[in-house]
Structure 1
Amino acid sequence: MRVLRFLQRHRNATVTDVAQALEVGTSSCYAILKTLQAHNPVAFDERAKTYSPGLGLLELGGSVSRDFASVHKARIQLTEYTRRTGLTTFVVARASHEHLLVVDKEEPGGEVRISIAVGTRFRITEGLSGRCFMAFLPEDESNALLKSVGLYPFAGMPAPTVTAYRKQLRAARENGYVVLIDSPVSGSNGVAAPIFDRDGRILFGVAAMGLSPALSAKAIQRPAPACAAPPN
């Protein structure tokens, strides 16, 4: 998995590149790459002697995407929501117990916009989408994650206190959505809301973000209620 993740970030890498980056023996690394190549998740360029992600990953990805049928059902609404608001809209799911993953997105036209890549992975306590999940998880699970994952600062700023963070989560539960105003990292504003499964557990988070000049703190109140009623 470390090899695949490395090739995701560094396409056309040699055996030496991969071995040095992952601090494994060259012969072991070569054996792993050849095994992955034989099963198609990794492709080998004979001329350049380099490795890249292979077409076999599409097959694996396709089987996963079928399990996220509700994301595909939401695509029409995501497109319409982005068209009406001019905001970048994305869907986030749980990648692991402590991490979230962007599984779909819709970006508005124009040269200046917020952009986020599908496949972006981050801690469950981080950012707008993280607060959305933490707010709507069972309280005992949310408290346990606060202890195990912790809170992290924005660039150049101290991390929020646990007391302040829990206050934000309470406000999100009361409103039905989470709001981010004047992000110190990107100068952006945003709103995120949960999508629940049949048992009432949060399944996805739908988030919409825009640059502060286009989406002021006052203007964010208009798209927020619409985001708080995401498609089933």
Structure 2
Amino acid sequence: MNKTVLKSMEIIQLFFDEEQQTLQEIVEKTNLPKTSAYRMAESLYELGFLQKSDEGAYKLGLLFLQLGHLVSERLEIRKVALPIMNELKKETGEAVNLIIREKEEAIYIEKVDTTEHVRVYTQIGRRAPLYAGACPRILLTFLPDKEREEFINRAMIKKYADGTIVDKDTLRQMLAESREKEYSISHSELENYSSAVAAPIFDHMGKVIAGISLVGPEVRFQDEAHVESLIIRLKQSAEEISKHMGWKGE
């Protein structure tokens, strides 16, 4: 692969975790010579991939917003799911997230925010490990057995919050339970004091292609009867989206 392209991508990836990067920070994090880092950053700036703050620090350019919008618009499942997500939010009052799998991560591709004053904020484009959180884990739950086990064996499990499942045998047990019930639930796994319930979305082949979740502060997910009602409504929405994607209910 072209080394210049790879290094340019390495610079861009620095902005996944930090909003801004100075030239010196880019040099330190990429181990590029300062002149090379400057030339690459300035080229990315000229092309619109980066922009500059008033202080001269680099940040992602608006071109990414345009490209991201095009990608989102072209994802059929997003178009199908959004009106159903809006209706789900109206009925439950909780935020709704839609995710898909990208390699060994889950990526959030659509959301509908709650109107509640206390909420859990999720950003479109956010990535999460498949083992943590109800929605990412529902994707892992329905991977083929061999693929799922291979992922668990090689995963370097990181603790994101107080409730993150770090024991692999416990994870396997939870996946088996989620597969049987066809939903997953999490408390303080990706962020403390947040909870979520998630259900799978299937395509015409019966393959899970996405996950949909209701998410909110943990305090609103304590009453069992309330959570059960959320799960029932969530699974109905997941089934509706699945049928639009060609699933026959098998």
Q: TM-score, normalised by structure 2?
A: 0.81
Deviations, residues 76-124 of structure 1 (Å, cap 9, x unaligned): 11122112212121111112x2111111111111321111121211211
What's the offset of the Cα at 1:11?
4.0
2 CA distance for matches of 1:212 and 1:138? 31
- 1:122 paired with 2:128, answer yes
Work out which of the residue numbers 32, 46, 50 in structure 2 matches 1:24. Answer: 32
Percent of residue pairs bearing the same amino acid type = 20
Of 208, 217, 220, which residue of structure 1 is paired with 2:214?
A: 208
Match of 1:88 among 86, 89, 95: 95
Is residue 133–residue 196 contact of structure 2 (8 Å, CA) maintained in 1?
no
Q: CA deviation at 1:184?
A: 9.3
Structure 2 gaps, min length 5: 1-8, 245-250
Q: Relative to 1, partners in 2 of residues 1:161 and 1:48: Cα closer, same or farther, differing over 3 Å?
A: closer
2:169 pairs with 1:163: yes
| Offset at residue 63 of structure 1 (A) | 3.4
* Ranges in structure 1 where 5+ consecutive residues have no aligned partner: none
Matches within 5 A, 1:93-112: 93-95=100-102, 97-112=103-118
Q: Is the 8 Å Cα contact of residues 49 and 60 (structure 2) preserved in structure 1?
A: yes
Q: Give 1:76's aligned residue.
A: 83
User: Which residue of structure 2 aligns with residue 63 of structure 1?
Assistant: 70
- Residues 143-154 of structure 1: matches in 2 within 5 Å? 143-153=149-159
**Number of matched residues?**
230
- 1:99-153 deviations in Å (ceiling 9; x for gaps): 1111111111132111112121121122212320111111111111001114444
Name the amino acid aligned to 2:82.
R
> Normalized per residue, which structure has more helix?
2
**Structure 2: how far apart are the matches of 1:184 and 1:66?**
27
Q: Which amino acid aligns with 1:119?
A: G
1:191 corresponding residue in structure 2: 197
TM-score (norm 1): 0.86
Does residue 36 (structure 1) correspond to residue 44 (structure 2)? The answer is yes
User: RMSD of the TM alignment (CA)?
Assistant: 2.5
Task: Kindly indicate whether the alpha-carbon contact (under 8 Å) linking 1:18 and 1:29 is maintained by their aligned counterparts in 2.
Answer: yes
**Residue identity matched to 1:32:** M
